[in-house]
Amino acid sequence: MKIAIIGGGIGGLTTALAMTQAGFAVTVHERASQLADQGAGITLAPNATRVLYHLGLGPDLEATSVTPPATEYRHYRTGAVIMRMLTKDFRAIYGAPYMRLHRWDLQHAMITRLAETAPGTLRLGSRVDRLTPGNGQVELGFADGRVETADVVVAADGIRSTIRETLFNPAPPVFTGFVAWRGLVDTADLPRHLHESAVAFGQGRHINRYLVRRGELLNFVAVAQRDQWEAEGWTIPAPLDEFLEEFSSFDEGTRTVISRPVRGQVFKWGLFGRPWLDEWSCGRIVLLGDAAHPMLPFLGQGAANAIEDAMILTRCLQAELTPERAFALYQRTRGPRVRAATEQAARRGDRYLGEPNEDSLKGNEPGAEYAYDAVSGPLGG
């Protein structure tokens, strides 16, 4: 079976690794002409790392990631610890580790692994402008005039998915009322006691910080409510003084961390969502990850769910005789879990923006989502 994957992000690359491991002929089409060291931190809970270890990425992850002993939830103004979530024992509890790492380190490990196991799979500067189903295949038309065919097309082109808008639902992404800022801090510029993993929240705002890249960098993400997002573009540079003023009521330690980003750079973006889709496939075309089900970041499960999607979709294509039947099985397996996670992420965001106390953190304890096994768990829901 010949499979075309549109999008070279985490979801698309995980799909490529899983499907090439399963013996499918795969091509990944990424519109960007180059992929470089950019972005910021990412959390990988055991449900995600279980899949990545299965795909042979364990040594690469261990070489670049950080497993924090715990994450502390703190009062935004006083810095007092409200709750502590222990993470160092998650490997023993769930059979896979909890990791924090730089997004590019993960993406680079995937690209390297794919080049080693299936050379030529990833095509950069390959922009798909048209999909035409017919005769048991899908014809792909490219911006440079090329035309190719595939038995299956996996659209992993993110929340701004043009394939979703063209074939499934023309409604554009909707601003959710949250704005986020991110930055990276060289840990050499911070006192040791500020290296811990912590979430400070309250007053309609929260700041999450944690180590990445072997502890050499500290990533922070700050979120606040806004009525609208009018900036052109999705991610834009933000003036440091404006950002610091927004979070000036936070405790001294948190303010110290966010005041020292590398090269003074802080980036700002609006958090967008899309209406829930009941069907993620159309003929031999199927959506995956944010293209199918964008999720607010408050659960730390957006990338994890794309990784799970990739593994489950691969198993469904192995288990069923036709792509259409495989997609139906994929939908039955993933739909309820992803919808529950999407709703839980929204609820957690509301809690973070409320009063900073133990009641607002109820439901933050890890549970079934971390034990989920996309590698060998049952298919079909």
Catalytic amino acids? 210
Domain annotation covers residue 252? no
Domain annotation covers residue 195? no
Closest Cα partner for 24 from 318, 269, 226, 352?
318
Which residues are CB-contacts of 75 (< 8 A; sequence separation ≥ 6)?
82, 200, 202, 251, 356
- Position 334: which residue type? R
Are the beta carbons of 381 and 333 closer than 8 angstroms?
Answer: yes
Domain annotation covers residue 60? yes
Domain annotation covers residue 231? no
Which residues are CB-contacts of 355 (< 8 A; sequence separation ≥ 6)?
202
Domain annotation covers residue 229? no
What is the reported pLDDT for 235? 79
Domain annotation covers residue 219? no
Tell me if the pTM is above 0.85. Answer: yes
Burial bucket for residue 181 (CB in 10 Å: 0-12, 13-18, 19+): buried
- Dist. CA 296–CA 173, nearest whole Å: 13
Q: Which residues of the chain fall short of a pLDDT of 70? A: 232-234, 363-367
Burial code (b: 16+ CB inside 10 Å, e: under 16) for 100-129 equals: bbbbbbbbbbbbebbeeebeebbeeebebe
Sheet holding 235-238, edge to edge: 81-86, 70-75, 197-202, 205-212, 217-225, 174-186, 266-273, 235-238
What is the reported pLDDT for 233? 63
- For residue 221, report the phi and psi dihedrals to the nearest 5 degrees: -130, 125
What is the reported pLDDT for 234? 66
What is the reported pLDDT for 306? 98
**CATH number for the domain including 46?**
3.50.50.60
Query: Checking phi first, is residue 160 left (phi over 0); if not, alpha (psi -120 to 50) or beta?
Result: alpha
Closest Cα partner for 49 from 371, 323, 355?
371
Domain annotation covers residue 146? yes
Q: How is 162-214 classified by DSSP, letter by letter?
A: HHIIIII--PPPEEEEEEEEEEEEEGGGS-GGG-SEEEEEETTEEEEEEEEGG
What is the reported pLDDT for 348? 85
Enter the DSSP assignment of 66. Answer: B
Number of domains in the chain: 1
Place of tokens 């089409």: 29
- Dist. CA 274–CA 277, nearest whole Å: 9
Domain annotation covers residue 199? no
- Dist. CA 323–CA 2, nearest whole Å: 11
Range of the domain at 106: 2-172+274-371
- Dist. CA 93–CA 156, nearest whole Å: 31
What is the reported pLDDT for 40? 87
